[in-house]
Structure 1
Amino acid sequence: MRIIFKFIFVLFLLNLLFKGNYGIDKDYPPKNESEIVIGFVAPIGDIEFDQYITGAKYAFSKWEEAFNKRGKSIVLHRLAEDTNDILDSLSMVQYPVAGIIGPAYSGSSSTSCLVYGAFSVPSISFYATGTDLSNPSLYPYFNRVMPDDRLQVKAILSLVEKNGWTRISCVHTNEDYGNGGADQLVQQSNARGITVNTNQAITAIDGDDVPTKEEYDIVFDNLAAAKSRVIVLYAIFPKDCLGVWEKAKERGFMGKGFTWIVTDGCAELTNGYNESIVGVLATFPRYNADDNFNEFEQYIIKESGTTDGSFFKGASFSYDAAFAMLKAMDHALENGKDVWEGSDLLESIRTITFEGITGTISFDPTTGDRLHGVFSLLNLIDYNKGSFDIIGFIDPNNGTISLSQDILYSGPSYAVPSDYQVIVYDKTLNIVLGVITGVCILIVLFIGAVIVLQWRKFRYSSPLFCMFIIIGALLGLSSVFVLLPSPTVPLCSSFPWLLGLGYVILFGSLFTKTWRTWRLFSNARKFKVIRITNQYILTLVGGFILLESIFMILWTTIDRPIPLAEPIYKAGEAQLQCTSDSEAWWYVFVFYKVFYIFVGVFLAFKTRDVVDSLNESKPITLALYNLTFVMIVSIALGFILRDNPTAIIVIQIIAILLGFTVTVAVLFLPKVWKILSGQQHSVDSIGTSMDSMGRTTQDQSRGYTTQDYNNQSVGRSFSASAQGFNNVQPSNHPQLGIVYTGGEQFPRLSSLSLASKSEAEINVNSEVINKAKASENNKNNNNNDESQA
C-alpha cells in the first residue's frame, strides 16, 4: 500500500514538473556519445559512503582501458549533496546518466526507482534488500547484486532448523528495511512450521530521534511474556542493535540461554566493545568470495582514507554493482546496441554472468534480483576486536550450512541453547527423593551384611547368588542418583547402564538359581541325579550380563542419549531431558525386560511343589506381582505425563525403589528376621530346623506319622542306586530328601549336623530310615519275584 501511494505521488509530482518551469523537457536531454555517464546514489552522510564510492571507482579502473579502446570514456557522477529522494532522482536523470549504481538502501530505492523507471534508466542497487522492489510492474528497471530479504530470511531459518528451534521472536526497526524483513520472517516461518511468538517494532535511531524508555519496556515486556529465547533482530544500522542490546542487558535478556541473530544491517558492527554481546550471530551476504579479497580490502581502506582500519562489507557489493553495470554496457556495445537506450542496457544487464568479489553474479530476467546469493554466518567471538568473525556459510537455496569452526553462543557456550525457557528441577524434591533412596540402599546393604555374616545359615539358598541379587539391587538403586542432578551427557549414558545391569544381575541370578532347583527336583522325580555347579550357573548369569552390555554398547555408540531442553506442559518452558534421536531404544530397553517376568512366572509355577526349604516360588511370585504392577502403572503414567518431566522422574524413581527394594525384602527379610530374633538357629542345615523358612522339625506336633512319610511324593526322594551314590541310603523322608542341591558331592547322613538333635529325635529319624529301607527292599524282592515268574 505504501508503494502504491508513493507511485501515485511521484506521477503527480512528475506531472507538475513537466508543466512547470523546472528546466525538464519532455524530450530527454542531449547526450555525449563519446562519454558514458553512470550515476552513483548513496547517502553521503553515512560513515560507509567513502568506502562505497571507492569500491565503485575501483571497478571503473578495471574497465577504463576497455572502453577507451572503443573510443568511449566512462564517468562516475554523484550528487553534491543529499536532499530529497525524488528531486535527487530527477536531477540525476536530467544530468543525464545512462545507468545508476544504487540507491544504497531499500527505503530510498522504493521511491527513487519509480523515477528511474519512468525515465527508462536501469539501476543496480548494491545494498537494497526489500522484497517490494522485486515487483517488475512497479520497478521494471530495478536490479541488485545484494540478495534480497527473502533469501536472507531463508538463510536465518536454515540456521534455526539446523539447531532444532521451533519458536523464535522478532524485534525490528520501524522503517522499510525492518518492516519488510519482519514480514518475510513471519511469512516464511509459518510456512516452515516455526512459530514467531512475538513480533515487536522499535523506532530507528536517527540523530536525536531515539526510542523512549516506554518503547523499550513494551518490547521487553512482550518478549518476557512470550518466554523468548531465540530473538531475530532486523535492524537497519548497528547503532539500533547496540541500543536494543543495552536495554536487553538491563532486563536480563543477554547471556547464557539467549540467542540473538542479527541481519546485514547490524552485521557491519565495528564498535561492539561489549562483553555481554559475545556469542551474537549475524547473517550477511557473502562479501569475500574472490581469492584477491584481502588485496581489495586493503585497497579500499587505504583509498577511502579510513583511519581506524575498519572495512565496511558494502564496499564489496558496491564494486560488484559498478562492475556489473560496466560489463553490461560493454556487452551492449559489442552487440551493436546503444547504452543510452534503457531497454537495450536492461537486457544486457539481465543476461550477464561473472564472478565478482561477492561470488557469482547474475540476475533474474523478470525481477532483476540476484540469483546466486550465499550468506556468511558471522559470530561475535572477540569483543575486544569489536567486529564479527566469519565462521561458515549458508546457502539459502538448498539450506546447507558449512562451518569452519563451532558456533559460540551467548554465555559464552558452545552448547546449542534451547528456544524455550529452561527451568531446573526442584532441589527440595530431589533432596527428599535422594534421602528415601539412601534409606532403601541402607536396608539392602543391611540384608547383604546379614547374608555374609550368617553365610552357613543360607547354605541351601545359594548364598553366593543371594549376594549377586544384593549387588544387582544396589546397582539399580544407585541409578536414582544419576537422575537427580541436572542432566549431562555422562549422566544420561550412565542411567540405562546402571538400571539395566542391576535389573539383569538381580533377576538373572534369582531365576537361574531357581531354575537349578527346578531342574534338580524334576530329575529326582525320574530317579535321575544330575550335577549343576555354581560355575555353570555363573556362566548363565554372565550370559545375561553380556547380552545387556552388547545392547547398551550399541545404544550408546549409535544413538547416545544426550541432554536436550524438551518442551513441557507450561507454554514456552522446557526442562533438560536425556533424549536419543530414536525412542525405539527406550522401548526396547523397557519392554524386553518383560521377558524376565515371564521367565519368573514359569519358574515359580514349576517349583511350587518343591520342599519349602528350597521353594522360593512364593517370594518370587510376590516380587513379580510387585514388579508387574509397578511397570504397568509407571509406563502408563509415563505416557500420560510425558510433557511433565518432573513427574516422570518421580515416577521413575518410585518404580525403581519399589522394584528393587521390595524384591530384596520379600526374598530375604523373613529369613533375616528369624535369624535376628533367635527363632531360627540353623537355617538351611539339618538341625533343630530343616528348611530355610525356619520350620521346626517337631513333626509329631504337626501330626506327621510314619505312614505320612512313606506316602510322600516320589519327587522328594533320590534313588539310592543312582550312579556315584551307592553308599547313600535311600529315603522317602521329606527332610533328608532335600539335602542335595547341586554341589560337588551328595551329602551323607554322617556329614549332617545332628549335634543339636535329641537322642529321641535321632532314634525317630533312624527308625524312619530303616522303615524306608525295608520298604525299598520289599519292593525290590517283589520285582525279582515278578521277573522270575
Structure 2
Amino acid sequence: MSIDVAATLVLFLSLGAVPSGAQVDGTLELAYGGDFRYLQAAWIFPIQAWVAKLVWDKEYPTLMPVAAADKRDFNITIDILDTLADPARTIKWASQLIWPHEGARNPFASLGAAYKTVQISDLSGSSDLQQRKFFPYLFRTLQTSQACGPEVSIIDKFDFKRITFFYADDTLGRSWFNRLEACTKNIDGSTLRGEPLSVFPSESEFDSRNVFLKAVQATKERWSSQIDRSLEELNSRIFVLYLSKGFSVFLPLIIEKGLVGEAYFWRFMALDIFHSIEGFVGIPTNPDWGPAEFPAFWDQSVISQFAGGMLEFPDVRDREKYPEFVQFWSTLSPADFPDQMHCYLYGGCEQGGACDRTVTSESSCTDGVFYHGGLAENYVHRWLINPSYSDTDIFTGKPPNGIPEPDPVLFGEGGRAFDGMMAILVATNRLLNNGTAMADIRGDLLKHEIETMEPVPGIGGTVSFDPTTGNRLESPSITLFYRIDEDRNDNKKQGENPFITAQGGNPFITEAASYSWKASEMTWYENWRFAGNTTDVPRSLPSRCPAGQFADADWACQPCPQGSFQSEEGQEKCIPCEPGTYQDEIQQTFCEPCPMGTYTNTSGSRTCTVCPWSHFRSRVGRADCELGPCEFMDYDGSSTEAPPENATAFTHAVPLAVLFTAASASLYTYL
C-alpha cells in the first residue's frame, strides 16, 4: 500500500502477488515506506502494520476480520523502508519494487496511476488527493469525509469571525491548515489567516546542549517575527495552534507578547501537547544536558495563563476491537518482529534491513538510519516501563497495570496502519475465494474489490472507502474537548483520555465537551468558561467605528489623526493624505487639496507649503510647484534682485499680471 509522500508521512504500497510453492495460494507482496522518525513516534505505523500481519498469520480470533473457514492459505511479505527524508530514494525504491525494469519517474501519489498499483495512505490529509482522475489508485485511512463537523460547531457556537492559525510548517501542519481553511470557507463572515512557523529543531540532531540551545533561540526569534508579522496583517484575538514540539518555547513567548487573558481564546489542535515530555521537564528534555533552559509548559505559571483555552483529543480507537488489540500486543515478543524493526522498538542504527542497537548516536550511524530510543524510550518517558527495562517489557509493562496503550505517543493513531493492512488482506482473501489467481490480484481488480467490499472491522473503526474520492468512510468515534483551568482541579471529570488514565490525570484540564462523529453532533457539558472564568465570549472583531475613526490595537475607537482620514465605518486603519492634499484636523473623512500657491510632496501631510520664489502653482491639489523665470521691478521700472520680505507668491503665470504687496508700491511681473 502507499501514500502520497508529498502530503503525508507514512507510505503503504501494495505491490501485487506471486505464486509460491510454500503456500497453497501463493505470496502477497507488500511494501511499506515512510518517515518513521517523525516526532520520534511514527515508527508505530510500520509496527502496527506488522502486527496486523501477525494477527492474520496467528489467526487471533477476536481480531480476525474473516471467519476461520473462509481464510485462504497465503504468505505475506512486507518490504519496509524509512524513505520520506529522501524523496528521490523513495521514488526509486517504490518504482523498482512495483515495476523493476523501469526507473523512477513519477511523484509518490502518482505511482499508483503510473503502475496501476493500489496505494493506501495512513496520514495523507490533502484534499487534492481525492481527485480520482489524477490519483485513481490512492485510498486514505485518515478519515476526511466529515472533517468540518467540530470546526463548524465551535465557530457557530461562539460566533468567531476572525481566526489566526499558527502551525508548524511541515507536512502535518500544512495538512491541518488546509483542512481548517476548507471548513471556514463555508462559514459566512469567518476569516482564517494561516501563519506557518519554522519547524522546531529536534534534540536528536544535535550532539551538545549549547549547539541545540542556539538553534532553539534562533527558532524562537523567527517565531517572534512571524507572530508579529501575522498580527500586523490581521489583528486577531482568536487563535488556533498546531505544533508537534516546542510548546515550552512558544507558550512563554505568547505570554511575553501579552496575547493571553480575557480578551483572547486559544485552541490547541495538537495531540502532542497531552504527552510531550516538554510539559513535565521543559527544554532540553535530555537529562544528560543539565537543567531546562525553557520551562515545563504544564507548570502552573505557564499553562494557567491560557485558562479558558481548548484542548482536543481525537479518540480513534474502536470501543470493542482496540482492547482486543491491546490484549494481543501483550502476547507478543521481540522475536515476532524482523531485525530491522528492533530499531523502531528499541532504537539503534538500521542499515540494510539489520538493526545495530549498540549505536547510540546519529553521528555514529554514518551509513544507516538512526532511531533514538525507539518505542521503548517513549514508554520510559511516560512511566509505562522502568528505565532499566528488558526487551519484553514494552509488551507487558510495569506491574500491576501492564501496558494500557501500545501507542503511547499517538494514542491509537497508528491503528490506521493496522486497518489499512487488514483492508488489503481481506480484499485479497475475497478475490482468492472468488477464484482469482494470486498473480492476478493487483491493479484495477484489487482497486475495484477495495471500493466495493463490505466494511472491514478494524481497531480504529470499520474500514471502507468512497470510490469517488478514495477517502475512508468510517469516522473516528469521538473527539473530546478539554478546558484549560486556572489552577489545579483534581476532582474533574476524567472521561476516557488515555493520557489521564495512564498518568493519573493532568491537574489543569477538565473535560468539557465531545463531538460524536457518527451522530455529527457536538455535546457541551456546560457553558464554556473563558479566561476569567466567564461565559462571555471574547470579541473576534473590533468595534465598528464610525467614519473618521479607526479601531486601534486594543480594538478601541480612536479619531484619525491629522494628516489622515477614513471615509468608511468599521475600519482598523486611517488612510494617509496623498501628496498634494492635507488634513489639519482630526477625525476627518477626507483630505483637502493644497490651495493655489502651495504644495506638499509627502504622504500624511497636515499642512501645505508655500511655493518658493521663481516657482508658481497653476492648480490646486498639486504635489509640486512649476519652475518659471521671474523678474522683480520697482514701480518706476528699475530691476531688483529679490522681492520684499512679505511679498506674496505668484498664484499663476500670466504675462504682465500685476500684484501689489502690502509693504510697498513695487509691482512684480512674470516675464
8 A Cα contact 1:281 1:377, kept in partner: no
Shift of 1:259: 2.1
- Which of 442, 445, 449 is matched with 1:344 structurally? 445
Aligned-partner Cα distance in 2 for 1:242–1:407: 30
Change (3 A) 1:112 1:159: same
Structure 1 residues 99-118: Cα deviation after superposition (integer angstroms, max 9, x where no partner):
xxxxxxxxxxx942222432
**SS of match in other structure, 1:326:** helix
8 A Cα contact 1:395 1:401, kept in partner: yes
Aligned-partner Cα distance in 2 for 1:28–1:297: 30
**Structure with bigger RCO (C-alpha 8 Å, 6+ apart):** 2
Do structure 1's residue 356 and structure 2's residue 358 form an aligned pair? no
Aligned-partner Cα distance in 1 for 2:450–2:93: 23
- Which of 196, 205, 226 is matched with 1:201 structurally? 196
8 A Cα contact 2:168 2:244, kept in partner: no
Aligned-partner Cα distance in 2 for 1:288–1:86: 35
Do structure 1's residue 401 and structure 2's residue 548 form an aligned pair? no
Do structure 1's residue 291 and structure 2's residue 326 form an aligned pair? no
**SS of match in other structure, 2:186:** helix
Change (3 A) 1:330 1:57: same
Shift of 1:287: 0.9
- Which of 445, 449, 473 is matched with 1:371 structurally? 473
Do structure 1's residue 163 and structure 2's residue 173 form an aligned pair? no
Q: Show the counterpart of 2:540.
A: 420
8 A Cα contact 1:155 1:283, kept in partner: no
Change (3 A) 1:58 1:203: same
Q: How does 1:562-641 map to 2 (within 5 A)?
A: 571=551
Shift of 1:363: 0.9
Provide the alpha-carbon RMSD of the alignment: 4.4
Shift of 1:201: 2.3
Q: Show the counterpart of 1:743.
A: none
Aligned residues between the structures: 399
Amino acid in the other structure paired with 2:482 = N
8 A Cα contact 1:55 1:300, kept in partner: no
Structure 1 residues 103-146: Cα deviation after superposition (integer angstroms, max 9, x where no partner):
xxxxxxx9422224322221221222111211222222111111
Q: Show the counterpart of 2:252.
A: 246
- Which of 75, 86, 90 is matched with 1:88 structurally? 90
Amino acid in the other structure paired with 1:137 = K
Do structure 1's residue 312 and structure 2's residue 402 form an aligned pair? no
8 A Cα contact 2:52 2:418, kept in partner: yes
Structure 1 residues 425-463: Cα deviation after superposition (integer angstroms, max 9, x where no partner):
xxxxxxxxxxxxxxxxxxxxxxxxxxxxxxxxxxxxxxx
Do structure 1's residue 40 and structure 2's residue 142 form an aligned pair? no
Q: How does 1:426-437 map to 2 (within 5 A)?
A: none
**SS of match in other structure, 2:219:** coil
Aligned-partner Cα distance in 1 for 2:92–2:52: 25
Structure 1 residues 75-98: Cα deviation after superposition (integer angstroms, max 9, x where no partner):
333126665234224324534699
Aligned-partner Cα distance in 2 for 1:115–1:419: 48
Aligned-partner Cα distance in 1 for 2:516–2:462: 13
Q: Show the counterpart of 2:394.
A: none
**SS of match in other structure, 2:452:** coil
Shift of 1:167: 2.5
- Which of 45, 55, 75 is matched with 1:52 structurally? 45
8 A Cα contact 1:362 1:370, kept in partner: yes
Aligned-partner Cα distance in 2 for 1:119–1:396: 35
Amino acid in the other structure paired with 1:56 = A
8 A Cα contact 1:286 1:359, kept in partner: no
- Which of 402, 421, 433 is matched with 1:322 structurally? 421
Change (3 A) 1:331 1:199: same
Amino acid in the other structure paired with 1:362 = S
8 A Cα contact 1:51 1:301, kept in partner: no
- Which of 36, 50, 56 is matched with 1:63 structurally? 56
Change (3 A) 1:297 1:251: farther
Q: How does 1:367-766 map to 2 (within 5 A)?
A: 367-374=469-476, 376-379=479-482, 381=484, 385=506, 392-394=513-515, 400-403=521-524, 405-406=525-526, 411=531, 413=533, 415=535, 417-420=537-540, 571=551
Aligned-partner Cα distance in 2 for 1:81–1:225: 38
Aligned-partner Cα distance in 2 for 1:211–1:61: 43
Aligned-partner Cα distance in 1 for 2:516–2:226: 35
Aligned-partner Cα distance in 2 for 1:182–1:191: 15
Shift of 1:401: 0.5
Gaps of 5+ in 1: 8-26, 99-109, 423-565, 576-640, 644-789
Shift of 1:365: 0.5
8 A Cα contact 1:379 1:407, kept in partner: no
**SS of match in other structure, 1:238:** coil
Change (3 A) 1:44 1:220: same
Change (3 A) 1:348 1:412: farther
8 A Cα contact 2:161 2:540, kept in partner: no
Gaps of 5+ in 2: 8-14, 60-67, 101-105, 203-214, 281-297, 333-374, 385-407, 489-504, 557-568, 572-671
Q: How does 1:89-168 map to 2 (within 5 A)?
A: 89-92=91-94, 94-95=96-97, 111-148=107-144, 151-168=146-163
Amino acid in the other structure paired with 1:317 = R
8 A Cα contact 2:17 2:27, kept in partner: no
Aligned-partner Cα distance in 1 for 2:229–2:319: 45
- Which of 208, 228, 231 is matched with 2:239 structurally? 231
8 A Cα contact 1:350 1:363, kept in partner: yes
- Output the TM-score relative to the length of structure 2: 0.50
8 A Cα contact 1:90 1:115, kept in partner: no
Q: Show the counterpart of 2:81.
A: 79
Q: Show the counterpart of 1:523.
A: none
8 A Cα contact 2:244 2:273, kept in partner: yes
Aligned-partner Cα distance in 2 for 1:28–1:334: 17
Shift of 1:320: 1.9
8 A Cα contact 1:116 1:141, kept in partner: yes
Aligned-partner Cα distance in 2 for 1:389–1:342: 49
8 A Cα contact 1:170 1:196, kept in partner: no
Change (3 A) 1:316 1:389: farther
Shift of 1:642: 14
Shift of 1:298: 7.1
Shift of 1:180: 4.6
Aligned-residue identity in percent: 18
Pick the structure with more helix per residue. 1
Q: Show the counterpart of 1:259.
A: 265
Shift of 1:151: 4.0
Amino acid in the other structure paired with 1:44 = F
Aligned-partner Cα distance in 1 for 2:89–2:69: 31
Structure 1 residues 279-316: Cα deviation after superposition (integer angstroms, max 9, x where no partner):
54345554123235345457669965332233423222
366-375 or 77-86, larger mean C-alpha shift: 77-86
**SS of match in other structure, 1:79:** strand
Shift of 1:358: 2.5
Do structure 1's residue 178 and structure 2's residue 173 form an aligned pair? yes
Amino acid in the other structure paired with 1:223 = L
Aligned-partner Cα distance in 2 for 1:336–1:218: 60
Aligned-partner Cα distance in 2 for 1:69–1:299: 19
**SS of match in other structure, 1:191:** coil
| Structure (1 or 2) with the larger CA radius of gyration | 1
